[in-house]
Structure 1
Amino acid sequence: MLMLTREDVRLGCQAADWRGALAQAAQSLVEAGRVSPEYGEGLLAREAQSSTYLGKGIAIPHGTPDSRRFVRATGVRVLQFPQGVSWHDGSRVNLLVTIAAQSDEHLDILRQLTHVLEREGVAESLAGATSPEEIIAALSRLPVTARLDADTLCLGLPAKDRLELALSAAARLRHVGCVDAGFVAAIAGQQPVPLGQGLWLVFGTTGVFTPALALATPDKRLHDEGGDVTGVFCLAAQGDAHRPLLDRLDGLIARGDGTKLHGLPAEQVLSRLAGESARAETARVRLLNAHGLHARPAGVLVQTARQQSLPVRVRLLEGSTEAVSVTSLSKVLGLGARRGQTLVFSAEGEGAAKAVSALVEAVRGGLGEPVTPLDEAHEVSAPRPLPVVPKAPPAPPPADEPLTAVPAAPGLAIAPAYVVRPLEFHYPERAHDAARERSRLENALLGARQQLGALVQRTVGGEVAQILAIHLEMVEDPALRDSAAEAIGEGASAEAGWWRAIETAARAQESLADRLLAERAADLRDVGRRVLGLLCGVEMPTPPEHPYILVAEDVGPSDVARLDTAKVRGIVTVRGGATSHSAILARALGIASVAGAGERVMALTSGVELIVDGELGRLVAAPSTARRQRTERRIAEQETLRQAAHGRRHEEARTQDGHRVEVAANLGSTAHAADAVERGAEGVGLLRTEFVFMAHPQEPDLATQIAEYSKAFDALGGRPLVARTLDVGGDKPLAYWPMPQEDNPFLGVRGIRLTLTRPEVLETQLRALLTAAGTRPVRIMFPMVKDIEEFRAGKALFDRVQAQVKAADVQLGVMIEVPSCALLAPSLAKEADFFSIGTNDLTQYTLAIDRGHPQLSAQSDALHPSVLHLIRLTVEAAHAEGRWVGVCGELGSDPQAIPVLVGLGVDELSVSSRRVPLVKARIRELTLPRARELAALALKQPTAAAVREALETA
């Protein structure tokens, strides 16, 4: 997908001719670090082959295959020429979208741009744009494309009536990620509408992520009170994007092909829905061009089609069923066809066979390019779990220089690196014996179940066993197995069918806006690779017998669970973040871990010594003797400190001069409250109540919530509990609370903004919390408050419920996550009883960095002076009104940050249960004057890095 930034766009360019414009474009790529200067010759050579003019004033210069060796990083630079440039083919160009692509990524860009050409007035708007944002908006906005493919078909079901077929079709749309459970529920209450010829239709607009059409047919002809039932279509409608699907249905009925759908295989059903009647001449051909159907071969195909005596249409067998005219260059390019995929040509009338045959032969001949046959054993069009040919790694990190990464699990470790390269899975895409392939898949699934079951039995630790149990459920998921079996029935191999099912489910998971839920796609692929390894005979690499630090592209949860904690000292991953399951498990196992370290770490050699600091998010390769000795002293000191901290975990946390700071625990589950108390927590500083809602298939009622919250109050034995009211929304959806997708859910309807739209939900939760508390201390806070108006709206509900329940010891506060809330703290402090600062969200909103961003997350440091200034403002405003302030974000457990927070006047730190003893111990090392000195020092620094450096040397 085309991703542009302001830096990628240059406005107001001028050039005497097309060569001058192309030279500017090449230089722009060089300045951006995308290519070396030699790439400019590749741009000229490509124009010599054929023009890259696309239409509507847009040209898309890109290099030849030979010039790809000069590409350093894939990217795009856009140059606007408002006065226009005369191109060498006579066209007038106003916009150069210059592409540097290391493989065939430019096909995706090309496909996107063909959609741009379909919009009226696009040439004028691009030529007259006065800001980069206008250009980006025009080029980056993809039209919503409705989905109809083999994965949305449910054929030959043993159904008894139309309603069962309708529900099956709706469930299929949910399985492939097009709709949510709310859509299925809406369909369940509908009576299908007759279309004629035994076909029926149900449709809905609620909970639609992607417009789509599903078809469910019975295994035998049905007849009920409504008439014959050949099949039931289920339409997920959204805007106008679904209208082409309705047009296809109209065409099917008009041709009288509706009754003929019964008993047809998936490919023929799709053929009929694509507009290919039973009378049409059709022919298939595999595309052999190395770089797919890009502009030059597509142009040859279009010219060949225009020479035929009647119109010919083409569709992509592996993609959407939409057939397009072969005489339209933009439509043909919009198919995005790649090498190895199958083109399906169709035509009707006298001479149809000759016309489609001519196009098939043109494709086989290469469309003006040399082509080579496909190697079926290695070259497939289905998505692959891992790259078959890994990219050459960049230079390794310099010796004895700290490399910044994302802190994933606390700890400090020194050990040799053990670098795990991506596994390669080689398998054929197609197989002829479907029964044998299904048997192979069942055997592999059985083997995976046995492996995971053994891992669960061997695993010590609740979180690890729980996540592995989830993996076991994934292996046993009948929907995954059925999806794979269906692909096998269509001719796929066991490996290809299984991975297709995994990728479909994983991509649906990734489409969720919630980062926590989207990262569960890694679990699906982890399970998928386990089964694929059994099918392909690929075994996991064997780690060394000596202690080591694992270095990998990414680490799946089952990989972490297999680790021998007596040997593995740390984990370093190229990708990932602090919220991934592998990071959660590393913390549960006490393994120091950093994530998002970048591609350079894959260039490390196994055996090179590494230092991993999971608290600061740093690693050092080949450390010097002095650095190694300092680190060893720190490790020894930390172990001594850990033991001493554990022994004093139930004592209060006071500085050496007697200043008291409460230390509480952050909880996601009420069941963990007893463990928090045992570890020394003085209460619960953050109960994430959304997990109570996520744990139930429907909205928990009052009795259910009271029972859940009571578990925590009972375990706390009179210690205070701070509960955050329901914090879900666009980024954390609930299946039973459908909400529209948002372009930027982190800035959308979530937290208090959402619950105020459903006051009955918030009122029930407040009543449950106050009732469960009874005479015990409860502190309730609203999330995502931006100003006093939202707090007052929530407080009105609270006051009404409290007047009825009359809880004995209750306070109502605000979670400081939005910068405006911190800046307006003086007005809020007059009415709120306390503040709790969520430094994770406050940091990402203040710095405008998503803390889960793969490139930027390492820069999302809550010790940034801007965040510290907001904390200072919040504390000063609260204390002026006699209110207390807590910190419940990750910053509260950062050893470097604790003195600063104490010095800023924070009254309470709420951290993970495991960190409670160590946080208390760190507070006991301080004096209040020293903490205030460090806080003042931090506030004077210009960057987060400068803050950390100043604190290290102070």
Structure 2
Amino acid sequence: MIEINERQISLHASPRDKQEAINLVGQLLIDSHNIAPGYVNSMQQREEVSNTYLGNGIAIPHGLNEHRDLIERTGISVLQVPAGVTWNPGETARLIVGIAAKSDEHIEVLRRLTRVLSDEKQVERLAQTTNPQDIIQALTGERAPEKAATSNQPVDYEHYFDAVVTNKTGLHARPAAMFVNLAKSFKARIRVRNGERVADGKRLLSLLQIGAEHGTQIRVSAQGDDADKALKALQEALNNKLGEEEAETEQRTETASWTPRHASATINGISAAPGIVFGAVKTYVHRAAKVEDVAGDPIEEGEKLQQALDTSKKELAQLHADVSARSGASQAAIFEAHSEFLSDSSILQQTISLIYQGHSAAWSWNQAIQERVESLQQLSDPVLAGRAADLRDVGTRVQNHLTGTQQQEIHLDNHPVILVADDLAPSDTATLDPQGVLGFCTVGGGPTSHTAIIARSLGIPAIVGAGKELLNVADGSTCILDGSAGKLYLQPDDEDIEQVRQLQQQARQQEEAARAERFAPAITRDQHRVEVAANIGNVRDAQKAAEAGAEGVGLLRTEFLYLERNSAPSEEEQFAVYRDIIQTQKGQNVIIRTLDIGGDKEVSYLNLPKEDNPFLGVRGVRLCFEYPDLFIPQLRAIYRAATYGPVSIMFPMIATLEDWQKAAAIAEQVRQELNGPTIPIGIMVEVPSAVLLATHLAREIAFFSIGTNDLTQYVMAMDRGHPQLAKQADSLHPAILQMIWQTVQAAEQEGKWVGVCGGLASEVLGASILTGLGVKELSVSIPSVATIKAHIRSSSLQDMQELAKRALQCRTSAEVRGL
């Protein structure tokens, strides 16, 4: 056991920088006759090739292996810096433990040090203590470290703010990495809390594991000299969605619904990227690197780990640059997040701890990664759980370097192929050449994975979640991959392939024509007009919609005004936003949906109670009734903005006639108080009761707008985002179509119109059937506007009515999609 005395510990030091800190801790080793003066230079040199910062404010500077001859006897020294000293950007060291290791006598101290690392309160106490015996006892084990106090409620730092995660897919890897990098630019310690789950704001993996989904309220707290500046910057970043742009790639024209006549079999999966292709199959199966636990010298194993991390960082930097050039910064940000995993202190701490317990670097790294992959997979949100694939991808990259395994490459034939794989990591997908890979189909994966996102950005048709039977497909056999339908057709004949060629040519021509004619109205060949509007969420969206050729706004989601703040928006603020949006549309109608949030979106200033099933709780118009101080100012702002152009109001979550009448009465009272204009007021049809009451509601409302996404979930009792149920929660199911038809019939009897603002309206087949059912307005995603308008112009109402009639006679969604 190494003996440490008080002469080897310096308290309350205040070095100007890392170099001075190393000099000071090195001098303690010189004074204790542990090292020759030249070893301090070796300690400085190591910092140039590796990072000795462990995490939680602890650094362990030590010299290079080739300079061990300068060590006179094994020992350690400790420099306490209560105010902290910058070790590397974003890393502040408060306890600097200098190590002179001539043999393995120091291992027990390092083992104890790694245990101290996991106890934030212990580190804080040691960084502030005035008694050197506290540090000696913590490192030598003469007195066990005090057990951290436990509490049912995690403690926040003194300064904090509350925020709601507004990123569409939550605080997943890319925005979380942006948060961590920003947090690291400040000296203050940052803590992020979701309920009772707490994360270190400077650690990516820690942040991912709190499961901050879309709509989740989090508390961000900070402590330190620049805490206020840090919180201000982080709050602004969260309000701007951490720089994440909504994925709005150009809508690819879908091929007409088609099934090959002579395929021998069909494998069903989930659509990940649209498009239809044919070609020979190339099978790719991951080989797992063999990891053996062969113990070696801890210092040498640590060197191996550092070299593997450094090499992996260089590779990821190059991958980031390549993807940025090919697909843009948004997709490339995935690999910035991957690089951030390599600096996660919890992974490094555990790996180092296991190394000093006698395990190899490869085995230790594998253990640390696997534990965290399993933890991520258990998160309830499928998008966040899917980030386990990202961590596994990074882990494999480092593992290959540790084991000397060559990075597995996807070797393609000298002709384009359809890639069939057990799974594709994001880094695999990013290196695919669209000239060589026509499309791909995987056993596992989901449509929100980074693999799927990259495939869409590259324009590579893709299917995921096809099941293990996929691996039985013979290498070299010819297949047709329909990414839009999520189907892989085996062994088609020449006639089938010729039809695919024709469909591909048609799709290319349609895309070009749709873009050129995007401002032309959607009038069918037999002169029936269909209004194609856009779904938007803010002023920027409104501008994009106008440029895309949208005929107004069919759904303005007003939640964006409420979820990015600590207090409700004022009437004046809302008025200004609504006015600006209306003015972008230059006389075309804007349908404003009133506030639609519930217990699933925790809003700090509302203190909404947690509900067991928030989708069946106080949400939508029900919440507005409970909070008139939110509802009335919003209505006042809408009526005031209505003087700047055509506006309609739409109430969400109307389930009963009483709901409608109460909401309409409140709106009328507000209108009269303002002497505002009379404007159309309609409702969202998204719960079955509204459909069943449609004949009564139609006598009073101005219009219906059907939200097919929620209507599908409520009718089918299936979450459309559920990884196991996603295939079944299809808005083209006959049960949903019957609901839509019933609503249209009720509306037409009273001379009212029906629109659809759900995802079904953005599908070509869906748009045809909806129009045939009598829907007058299709409100679609912005990238879909030109495609849907062009499709309507190329169709006849009579044909679409016949299609809708046949769809209503179908028994399954598969039969509908087969029409």
Using the alignment, how far apart are the partners of 2:133 and 2:659 within structure 1?
54
- Is this contact kept in 2: 1:577–1:852, CA < 8 A? no
Output the TM-score relative to the length of structure 1: 0.53
What is aligned with 1:542? Answer: 410
- Name the structure 1 match of 2:777: 908
Verify: 1:484 aligned to 2:347, yes or no.
yes
SS at match of 1:216: helix
Alignment of 1:833-872 (within 5 A): 833-872=702-741
Q: CA RMSD in A?
A: 4.6
Q: CA deviation at 1:159?
A: 9.9
Deviation at 1:611, TM superposition (A): 1.1
Q: What code does the residue aligned with 1:476 have?
A: E
Q: Given the two structures, how large is their TM-score scaled by the length of structure 2?
A: 0.61
SS of the aligned residue for 1:476 comes to: helix
| Counterpart Cα distance in 2 of 1:835 and 1:925 | 26
The aligned amino acid for 1:931 is M
Contact 1:728 1:751 survives alignment (8 Å): yes
> What is the match of residue 435 of structure 2?
566
Kindly provide the CA deviation profile for residues 824-883 of structure 1, in whole angstroms up to 9, marking residues without a partner as x. Answer: 223433444332222223223322333334444223322221111100112222333443
**Residue from 402, 413, 427 that aligns with 2:266:** 402
Which residue does the alignment assign to 1:420? 284
Question: Quick check: 2:562–2:569 contact (8 Å CA) kept in 1?
Answer: no
Q: Supply the distance in 2 between the matched residues of 1:431 and 1:712 (Cα, whole angstroms).
A: 65
Which is further off, 618-627 or 468-477?
468-477
C-alpha separation between the residues in 2 aligned to 1:230 and 1:877? Answer: 82
> What does the per-residue CA deviation read over 1:165-220, in whole Å, with 9 as the maximum and x for residues that have no partner?
xxxxxxxxxxxxxxxxxxxxxxxxxxxxxxxxxxxxxxxxxxxxxxxx98621355
CA distance in 2: counterparts of 1:635 and 1:156, whole angstroms: 59
**Would you say how many aligned residue pairs link Structure 1 and Structure 2?**
593
Mapped to 1, the partners of 2:575 and 2:369 lie a distance apart of 38
User: Does 1:666 pair with 2:529?
Assistant: no
* In 1, Cα distance between equivalents of 2:474 and 2:516: 41
Asked whether the equivalents of residues 565 and 591 of structure 1 are also in contact (C-alpha less than 8 Å), the reply is yes
1:84-142 Cα offsets, whole Å, 9 max, x none, are xxxxxxxxxxxxxxxxxxxxxxxxxxxxxxxxxxxxxxxxxxxxxxxxxxxxxxxxxxx
The correspondence for 1:924, drawn from 773, 781, 793, is: 793
Larger mean Cα displacement after TM superposition, 562-571 or 425-434: 425-434
Q: Which residue of 2 aligns with 1:26?
A: none
Q: Secondary structure at the match of 1:843?
A: helix
CA distance in 2, matches of 1:838, 1:830: 20
Distance 1:584 1:709 in 2: 32
Residue 907 (structure 1) shift: 1.1
Separation (CA, whole Å) in 1 of partners of 2:327 and 2:133: 49
- The equivalent of 1:894 in structure 2 is 763
Separation of aligned partners in 1, 2:399 and 2:299? 18
Q: Is the 8 A contact 1:777 1:809 kept in 2?
A: no
Please tell me the residue identity of whatever aligns with 2:268.
T
Shift of 1:653: 0.6
Which amino acid counterpart does residue 409 of structure 2 have in structure 1? P
Greater CA drift, 656-665 or 514-523: 514-523
- Partner amino acid, structure 1, of 2:692: L
Match of 1:858, SS state, is: coil
For residue 648 of structure 1, what is the aligned residue in structure 2?
517
CA distance in 2, matches of 1:774, 1:444: 64
2:181 matched residue in structure 1: none
Given the alignment of the two structures, is residue 216 of structure 1 paired with residue 121 of structure 2, yes or no?
A: yes
Q: Relative to structure 1, is the Cα distance of residues 535 and 583 closer, same or farther in structure 2, using a 3 angstrom cutoff?
A: same
Conserved 8 A contact 1:434-1:488:
no
Alignment of 1:322-361 (within 5 A): none
2:589 counterpart letter in structure 1: P
Contact 1:904 1:932 in 2 (8 A): yes
Distance 1:495 1:730, change over 3 A: farther
Separation in 1, partners of 2:372, 2:578: 34
**1:819: Cα distance to partner?**
1.9
Distance, in Å, in 2 between the alignment partners of 1:498 and 1:809 is 67
Distance 1:680 1:798 in 2: 31
Q: Is this contact kept in 1: 2:119–2:148, CA < 8 A?
A: no
SS of equivalent residue, structure 2 residue 279: strand
Q: Are the aligned partners of 1:512 and 1:731 in contact in 2 as well (CA < 8 Å)?
A: no
Q: What's the offset of the Cα at 1:769?
A: 6.3
Distance 1:690 1:273, change over 3 A: closer
Measure the CA separation in 2 of the matches of 1:526 and 1:693. 37
- In the alignment, the residues of structure 2 paired with residue 528 and residue 712 of structure 1 have an alpha-carbon distance, to the nearest angstrom, of 46
How far apart are 1:924 and its partner, in Å?
2.1
| Aligned pairs (5 A) from 1:263-662 | 400-428=264-292, 443-459=307-323, 465-473=329-337, 475-476=339-340, 481-492=344-355, 513-536=380-403, 537-544=405-412, 546-662=415-531
Question: Unaligned stretches of 5+ in structure 2?
Answer: 1-54, 60-79, 84-117, 151-261
Question: Please, which moves more after superposition, 413-422 or 708-717?
Answer: 708-717
Partner SS, residue 682 of structure 1? coil
Consecutive unaligned residues of structure 1, counting only runs of 5 or more, are 1-152, 162-212, 232-258, 275-397
Matched to 2:719, the amino acid is D
- 1:427 aligned partner, one-letter code: V
Question: Which one of the candidate residues 743, 751, 766 is aligned to 1:874?
Answer: 743
Residue 527 (structure 1) shift: 4.5
**TM-aligned CA deviation for residue 617 of structure 1:** 2.5
For 2:385 and 2:600, the matched residues in 1 are separated by: 10
C-alpha spacing 1:514/1:661, structure 2 compared with 1 (3 Å):
farther
Q: Which structure ranks higher in relative contact order (CA pairs < 8 Å, sequence separation ≥ 6)?
A: 2
Structure-2 separation of matches of 1:580 and 1:424: 21
Q: Which residue of structure 1 aligns with residue 50 of structure 2?
A: none
What amino acid does structure 1 have at the position aligned with 2:353? E
Which residue of structure 2 lines up, in the alignment, with residue 128 of structure 1? none
- In 2, the alpha carbon distance for the partners of 1:716 and 1:494 equals 61
In the alignment, what sits opposite 2:71?
A: none
Shift of 1:899: 2.6
Instruction: Assess, with a 3 A threshold, how the Cα gap between structure 1 residues 883 and 505 changes in structure 2: closer, same or farther.
Output: farther
For 1:936, the aligned partner's letter is K
- 1:875 is paired with a residue of what secondary structure? helix
Write the deviation string for residues 791-824 of structure 1: whole angstroms up to 9, x where unpaired. Answer: 4565566566666778768544333222222222
Counting only pairs closer than 5 Å after superposition, residues 665-814 of structure 1 correspond to structure 2 as 665-667=534-536, 670-690=539-559, 696=564, 701-702=569-570, 712-713=581-582, 715-725=584-594, 727-729=596-598, 746-747=615-616, 750-753=619-622, 760=629, 775-791=644-660, 811-814=680-683
1:941 paired residue number: 810
* 1:307-366 CA-partner distances (Å, limit 9, x unpaired): xxxxxxxxxxxxxxxxxxxxxxxxxxxxxxxxxxxxxxxxxxxxxxxxxxxxxxxxxxxx
Once residues 808 and 488 of structure 1 are traced to their aligned partners in structure 2, the CA distance between those partners, rounded to angstroms, is 67
